[in-house]
Structure formats: structure tokens, C-alpha cells
């Protein structure tokens, strides 16, 4: 899929405007603070319902705007068009629409357009908290499996019910009501993650070998519940203690992964540069996995040239240019082919 049109209003510093994009490469350039990253962010919010920079929607709302609205048209290779829209106001919170139908949950909306984000100054996937890696993984699996999105939405629902019960306390029968579906959903989720992880890992190894030529990187999945464990029993045994915490401490919502660099944790022993390259390999692997599942990715690359040397920038271009649609920001336009846009003071103008 590729994004053919984007309209924004009330989003960060962006003026109310529309733009039409190229199905291959789109190059956005202009002065610092002009709004280049904000455009990529708007595309990411349209694709996944959330920003890669702020958790709070009130931060991405334009300073004086009562609400924001991001709308877009995306086309498939067979020219089927999808219309999507995200609306937010502090009073009404956020709403998602796909082909004029409202989608009630972000988890179900996210991934309708498979976007992969490259922010090289940001090593959140390596050194950030586990929640960021889980969000990355859930988005990634959700892009290749709609069923997975439904499973996760259902799991979050029953998890919230059990957590509410833990806070107020309840009898065994009340717990059973939520723990049984939780265990069933968790098993299904674990299967799909395992399947995804196998493919993802092999792409990651290929990609990390290209960008970290001399180092050996290894991905390690850290499940909260082991494959041989009975999750229903884990939940049952955990009730007493978890009532003290008021939430469920084990389950698929607590999985994590880590990267080993020459057999040591990258987050502790890797240099800034190594961590950045590993983060890049993770994003590339995610896009490659989507691609092999038949979903052509949209690559959002924010200022990558500022952090990569020329050889790696060219390598990155060559890796993605034929594989999906590219949005690429830089202070100066790069010497590559594509539709060019100048972005200044929140306005985007084709040049
Ligand atoms: N919520 C907001 N409302 C209005 N302007 C904002 C908001 N958040 C950030 N900005 C402004 O957006 C600009 C930064 O835009 P950005 O896309 O990061 O620029 P760049 O072109 O350098 O990538 C800054 O001028 C900043 O003040
Ligand atoms: Mg920027």
C-alpha cells in the first residue's frame, strides 16, 4: 500500500493543508523546525493511531487548535483505495475511521497502513523501557495479521477486567470468568508471536550483518510465561499476591526481547553507534517481514543522513527504494530521484 493523499489540520505546527504523494519516493526538506518530522508523525498517527514521539495526544495537538484531524487516501497495488481519518479533541478524545466506518479501538485500527519508522537519534527500542519494545512488537505482528490485532484487543479487555477485580478483591468463581479466556487468548497470541519472531529474527540477522559488519548480533525473546507453563494456573496462583499490586504481573502483556552484541546485552555494552545501527536493523527487519507477508511497507525516514555515513545512507536507500513507498526528510534535498517538497513554517509545497 502507499499513501497518495494526506490532509491535516490542527496538528502540531502544520498549516491546514493537503498534499499528494508519489508512490515511490517523497523527499521532504527545509529548515529546522519547519515541520518535516511533524509530517512524518502525522502519517504515523494516521497509520497506527499513535505518535512515535509523544504518548499524550494533547502534545501533538496544535498549540491553539481545538482539535486535530488527519485524513488520507492509501492505495493498494491493485488500485483499491482506502480512506482513513483520525480525529482528536481533548473533550471527545480520539476517533478512528476507515472507509467512513468508525473503528472502536486503536488496536484494531493500527496497521491498516503498514508504516515503518526510522528515527536514528532515538534508541528507544534498545535502551528504553520494555513497554516500548512490546508496542513495537505488537504493532509489527498486527501489521501482518489482522487476527492478531483482534486477539490483542480482546486480551487487553479481559486483562483490564481481571485487574479491576484484583483491586477490589473477589472470589474464585469471579476470577475464573476472566482467567479462562485470558489463558486461551494468551496461548493463541503466543503462537502468533512465535511464528512472527522466527521470520523477524532471520530478517534481523541479514540486516544487522549489513550495518554492523564486524559484530555478531543476536535477538533473544524473553517471554513472561514459558512455553511449557500453564497460564491459567499461573494466574490462579498469582491472585493473592497480585491483589496487593492491583494488577496482573505475568502474561503476554509482559513479554520483552533483548539484543546481544557479541554475547553481551547491547543496551549495557554497545556504543551509541552500535545501538543506533541495531535499532535501524530492527525497523528494517520489521518492514521486510511485512513485505514477505505481502504487505508493502511505507518507510518514514527522519533525518537519517544526519547520523549515517554516506556508505550506509546509500545502502539504506538501496535496501528500501524498490520495496515500498519512501518518505525521507533532510535539511537539504538528497541527490536521489523522487517527488520533492519544501517544508517551511508548517507549510508543505511541491517544488
Ligand atoms: N503541539 C504543537 N503545536 C504547535 N507547534 C508545535 C507543537 N509541537 C511542536 N511544534 C513546533 O513544531 C516545530 C518543529 O517541527 P519539526 O517537524 O520537528 O521540524 P523539522 O522540520 O525540523 O523536523 C517547532 O517549531 C515546534 O515549536
Ligand atoms: Mg525533524
Residue 70 lies in a domain: yes
Tell me which of 27, 30, 34, 38 to substitute to probe ligand 1's pocket, judged by most ligand atoms within 8 Å of the beta carbon.
Answer: 38
Ligand 1 atom nearest residue 32's Cα: 22
pLDDT at res. 120: 66
3-state secondary structure 1-52: CEEEEEEEECECCCCCEEEECCCCEEEEECCCCCCHHHHHHHHHHHHHCCCC
Ligand 1 atom nearest residue 35's Cα: 17
Residue 109 lies in a domain: yes
Residue 79 lies in a domain: yes
* pLDDT tens-place string over residues 206-250: 999 999 988 899 999 999 999 899 999 999 999 999 999 999 999
pLDDT at res. 109: 93
Tell me which of 10, 12, 90, 119 to substitute to probe ligand 1's pocket, judged by most ligand atoms within 8 Å of the beta carbon.
Answer: 12
pLDDT at res. 121: 66
Residue 321 lies in a domain: yes
Residue 262 lies in a domain: no
Separation between Cα atoms, residue 121 and residue 236, nearest integer Å: 43
Separation between Cα atoms, residue 219 and residue 196, nearest integer Å: 13
Question: How many domains does one find in the chain?
Answer: 1
pLDDT at res. 306: 82
Exposure class string for 202-213: b at 16+ Cβ within 10 A, else e: ebbeebbebbbe
For the entire predicted model, the pTM comes to 0.90
CATH no. for residue 23?
Answer: 3.40.50.300
Residue 56 lies in a domain: yes
pLDDT at res. 335: 77
Residue 279 lies in a domain: no
Range of the domain at 332: 1-114+297-351
Alpha-carbon torsion 203, 204, 208, 214, what sign?
negative
Which residue ranges in the chain fall short of pLDDT 70? 120-121
Residue 100 lies in a domain: yes
Amino acid at each position: 500500500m502507499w499513501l497518495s493523499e494526506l490532509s491535516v489540520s490542527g496538528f502540531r505546527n502544520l498549516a491546514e493543508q493537503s498534499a499528494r504523494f508519489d508512490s515511490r519516493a517523497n523527499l521532504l526538506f527545509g529548515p529546522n523546525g519547519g515541520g518535516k518530522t511533524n509530517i512524518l508523525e502525522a502519517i504515523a498517527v494516521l497509520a497506527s493511531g499513535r505518535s512515535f514521539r509523544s504518548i499524550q495526544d494533547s502534545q501533538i495537538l496544535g498549540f491553539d487548535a481545538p482539535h486535530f484531524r488527519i485524513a488520507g487516501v492509501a492505495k493498494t497495488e491493485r488500485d483499491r483505495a482506502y480512506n482513513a481519518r483520525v480525529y482528536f479533541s481533548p473533550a471527545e478524545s480520539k476517533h478512528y475511521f476507515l472507509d467512513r466506518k468508525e473503528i472502536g479501538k486503536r488496536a484494531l485500527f493500527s496497521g491498516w497502513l503498514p508504516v515503518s519508522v526510522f528515527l536514528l537519534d532515538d534508541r528507544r527500542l534498545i535502551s528504553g523501557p520494555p513497554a516500548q519494545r512490546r508496542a513495537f512488537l505488537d504493532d509489527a505482528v498486527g501489521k501482518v495479521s489482522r487476527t492478531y490485532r483482534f486477539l490483542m484487543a480482546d486480551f487487553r479487555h479481559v486483562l483490564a477486567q481481571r485487574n479491576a477485580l484484583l483491586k477490589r478483591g473477589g472470589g474464585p468463581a469471579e476470577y475464573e470468568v476472566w482467567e479462562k479466556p485470558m489463558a486461551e487468548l494468551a496461548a493463541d497470541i503466543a503462537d502468533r508471536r512465535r511464528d512472527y519472531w522466527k521470520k523477524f529474527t532471520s530478517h534481523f540477522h541479514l540486516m544487522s550483518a549489513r550495518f554492523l559488519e564486524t559484530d555478531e548480533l543476536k535477538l533473544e525473546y524473553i517471554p513472561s510465561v514459558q512455553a511449557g507453563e500453564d497460564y491459567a494456573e499461573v494466574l490462579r496462583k498469582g491472585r493473592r499476591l497480585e491483589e496487593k499490586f492491583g494488577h496482573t504481573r505475568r502474561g503476554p502483556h509482559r513479554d520483552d526481547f533483548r539484543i546481544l552484541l557479541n554475547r553481551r546485552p547491547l543496551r549495557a555494552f554497545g556504543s551509541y553507534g552500535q545501538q543506533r545501527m541495531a535499532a535501524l536493523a530492527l525497523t528494517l527487519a520489521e518492514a521486510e517481514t511485512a513485505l514477505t507477508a505481502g504487505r508493502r511497507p511505507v518507510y518514514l525516514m527522519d533525518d537519517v543522513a544526519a547520523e549515517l555515513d554516506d556508505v550506509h545512507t546509500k545502502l539504506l536507500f538501496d535496501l528500501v527504494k524498490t520495496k515500498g513507498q519512501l518518505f525521507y526528510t533532510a535539511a537539504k534535498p538528497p541527490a536521489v530521484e523522487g517527488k520533492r517538497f519544501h517544508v517551511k513554517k508548517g507549510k508543505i509545497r511541491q517544488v
